[in-house]
Amino acid sequence: MDHLETEGRNPASEHLDALSPLELVRLMNSEDARVIDAVASQADSIAQAIEIIADRFRQGGRLIYIGAGTSGRLGVLDASECPPTFNSPPEQVVGLIAGGPTALTRAVEGAEDHPEYGEADLKAIALSANDVLVGIATSGRTPYVLGAIAYARSLGAYTIGLACTSTAELSELVDLAIVPIVGPEVLTGSTRLKAGTATKLVLNMLTTGSMVRLGKSFGNLMVDLRATNIKLQARTNRIIRQVVGVDHATADALLQQCGGELKTALVAALGKLSPDESRQRLRLSQGRVREALPIRPQSDKSLSLGIDGGGSHTVALLAREGVLIGRGEAGPSNLRAVGEAKAFQALDTAITRAFTAAALPRGSVGRACLGLAGAGRESERERFRAWASRVHLAESVSVVTDAELLLAAGTPEGWGLALVAGTGSIAWGRTADGRQARAGGWGYLLGDQGSGYALAMQALRTILQTADGTGPATALSERIPEHLQISDLYDLIPLVHGGPLDRAALAALATVVLDAAAEGDAVALTIVEEQAEQLARTALAAISTLGISRFPLALAGGLLLANADYRERVLERIRQHAQPAPITLVREPAEGALRLCQRLAST
């Protein structure tokens, strides 16, 4: 415990007992000001947690807080405030504290020291893989919380750790760590102070953020309520007057027409729709008022949108009668990787930026083609089509896989083989008569052979084997830590397991491996050759299924495009069994989406 920041003595308060009340207040206030920056340093992790929690809520999952002492009380408090604030079911956000309800007002000695108690409390509420568990432990070492986390991970639940110490054991055990470092307390070891404040701020953000993502607010107004009593009737009337700009009597009449449903009344009034139409739009928008409102932008049939959405970024190209006039880019839109809300947001941002680049107001277009990673199944494509309909994207919308864009952009007649190797990898082919086949594309846990991620992970495992004395010496043992700016290989553990390095950041290590191979490092060269062989086999598997040996080949993905040596190693192995020609490097797959738009126009 001595090494924990929260247990250290604060030099600013060493003479606390000698201070006047005013001096004490000013000291505590200045120390509390440090909490804001500590929480701000965790903004990215908190935002990621909000998206995950909201996504699990949509799938019927729950948010569970678990902690001991002050941490547990704060979790229970935040959970208990959700139903009255957001009209959420009481079982949707649950707070558990070591020692049970008695511990809310009176310390239950020793309850936090038993990891099995944490597991037992989760079993009692039937924790499932759909749930998110937030373990709250200021010290990052509370056995009750650690036991709960271990049990949750064994079930497949998503785990988040909230601690206030940089050496928190908890951080290494969870899927996502949130660690605001507030420093030593004014009263040594009293973590109900700054650490408690930081915890409360983070919990406020988690529940408020996730509930807003679910559509519990419209602007900053709490709109997910029904006028079931006099107080709520007055509140709903006031919200309608504020938003719609009508008088008290008109607001009451509107509410009555809509069965007392505030959201329905808002959509009906703002969208000039019937109550039934408003309810239908709210169902399609998953309860989000803003998305349920009809957007009636100016339609321009001469415009078309080609969109390439993947696991690392999204590109939207806007064209007028086939001539490119605007390009927009945003973050990832792979539905499986980032969830529905984040995927739709990335698409919306990229499209808006394309219109901005063209100096045009955002509006509906004649045709749109969306080539998307994570859209291989009809159910997934339908979710994107429903989104496109809600935002009035285009009069005609086509949703295809991202691999189809490559054939459209990189082959003469739209058939052949598309081979992608970037963060992930996949081979997808189509014959002239329409038969299709794919190989790879199973994701980083199950496949992605020959990808940047695969190269990086093989290199990381190799240098750890070298450190253990079970692998050969390699320059990678120095180059990779230098690239990551770490001095100890043990620092890899928090970086890789739920740390700041996501898959794309890890895949970027492939350049280190390729550079070392080019300079003659035998181990790096072996890794490169093995992964090139795996990627070539993936390509050959797809064309074998199609029964073709001569075919146009479209290459894409950062790894294949940026490294000519690696690309040639892969091609050399493919040429041993097949005859790819012509070979085209596709640097802007979204151009293939525009070509598909043109085909839509001609049919």
Distance CA 393, CA 384 (A): 11
How far is 257 from 267, CA to CA, in rounded Å?
13
**Cβ neighbours for 149, distance < 8 A, ≥ 6 positions apart:** 118, 133, 135, 159, 161, 170, 173, 174
Helix spans in 411-521 (H):
452-468, 476-484, 492-496, 503-507, 510-518
Enclosing H/E stretch for 325: strand 323-330
Beta strands in 58-148 (DSSP E): 63-67, 93-97, 132-136
Max intra-chain CA distance, the chain: 88
Write 472-476 long-range contacts (CB < 8 A, 24+).
Answer: 472/522, 472/523, 473/523, 474/516, 474/521, 474/522, 474/523, 474/524, 475/516, 475/519, 475/521, 475/523, 475/524, 476/512, 476/513, 476/516, 476/521, 476/523, 476/524
Residue 199 to residue 168: CA distance in whole angstroms:
15
Torsion of CA 335, 340, 343, 346, to 10 degrees: 180
Contact 274, 288 (CB under 8 A): no
- Residue 526 has a CB neighbour count (10 Å cut-off) of 15
**What does the radius of gyration of the chain's CA atoms come to, in whole angstroms?**
28
**380/501 Cα distance (integer angstroms):** 28
The whole-angstrom separation of Cα 543 and Cα 576 is 13
Helix (H, G, I), strand (E, B) or coil at 180: coil
CB atoms within 10 A of CB 549: 12
Q: Which of 560, 550, 519, 325 is nearest to 424 (CA)?
A: 560
Paired tokens of 482 = 């230098």
Please give the sequence-ordered ranges of beta strands (E in DSSP) within 111-229, or none if there are none. 132-136, 158-162, 176-178, 217-218, 221-222
Which residue do the tokens 């490294």 mark? 563
- Which DSSP string corresponds to 35-46? HHHHHHTTHHHH
The single residue of 51, 112, 291, 404 carrying the catalytic annotation is 112
Q: Which of 58, 66, 169, 179 is nearest to 122 (CA)?
A: 66
Of 6, 13, 9, the closest CA to residue 28 belongs to 13
Q: Count CA atoms within 13 Å of residue 223 on its CB side.
A: 28
The yes-or-no answer on residue 81 being catalytic is yes
> What does the alpha-carbon distance between residue 330 and residue 221 come to, in Å, rounded to a whole number?
28
Of the candidates 5, 7, 81, 172, the residue annotated as catalytic is 81
Q: What is the CA 259 to chain-centroid distance, rounded?
A: 37
Q: Is 280 exposed, middle or buried (0-12, 13-18, 19+ CB in 10 A)?
A: middle
Helix (H, G, I), strand (E, B) or coil at 400: strand
Catalytic residue list: 81, 112
